[in-house]
Amino acid sequence: MDIHPVKIAFITDLHIDNPGVILSGRDTRRQLLEVIQHISERSFDCIILGGDLCNATGDTDIYHWIKDLFEEHNLTVYPIPGNHDSSILLSKVFGLNENLRDGNLYYQVGIRNINMCMLDSSLGVFNDPQWNWLEEYILKSERYVYIFMHHPPVISGSKHMEPKYMFREMGRFQQLCQQYPEKTFFITTGHYHMEKTIVQNNLHIYISPSTYLQINPEKEDFQIMPAYYGYRNITISENGTFQTNAVYL
């Protein structure tokens, strides 16, 4: 029997605030609504929310508003926390309490023959239980390893975001992956408000655009790029190959 490819929309850095709040001239609620409408008109197996759902800090009302939007469009959603989120509140609202461990939200998602790993980098580090869990996931994976996390685990060339806001255990992450040179790691992230692909040894990192705004990676000061926003389209074939592109609105 043929196995259809797994199709995923990766939406990240939503920065939703209270109703009526305009951020840097952007209505993040309206922009998210437009992204969801665009996605709902296409065929996806699931939506992965890549973190920073909230603009300032985790907010139960905002999480409910986001969750209800996707439910209205009959879209299956898997959230991961960013540095502006609360892992505890996020797990509660999205019904993921069983995946909350010592205040960290990380778990696996299986769709047909593809198993994916959702990590919690919201504190800029992993605790030891999450490191152990990640290594166990890698060991059980075959040729391809699929990881979704908020922070890029390698230096990415964003002069504004690095080094102030980067994942602080990049070396440990890369060392862990390099212990398995026979495996290819496909790692999808957000956080830097830009689109970029980085290939480093057996790591393929896909930094994804924000539904809010993009930040000029060439400037040390905060400089907004032209007014476009979007998400990442991902297709994982039945034999495990990974294809992706950014979609802009």
- In angstroms, the CA 16 to CA 231 distance is 15
- In angstroms, the CA 115 to CA 145 distance is 8
pLDDT at 26: 95
Strands 6-11 and 100-101: unpaired
Domain boundaries, the chain: 6-248
- pLDDT tens readout for residues 57-110: 999 999 999 999 999 999 999 999 999 999 999 999 999 999 999 999 999 999
pLDDT at 2: 60
pLDDT at 227: 78
Q: Would you place residue 3 in the very low, low, confident or very high pLDDT band (cuts 50, 70, 90)?
A: confident
pLDDT at 242: 97
Q: Is the pLDDT of residue 1 over 60?
A: no
**Homologous superfamily in CATH for domain 6-248:** Metallo-dependent phosphatases (3.60.21.10)
Q: If you average pLDDT over residues 141-160, what whole number do you get?
A: 97
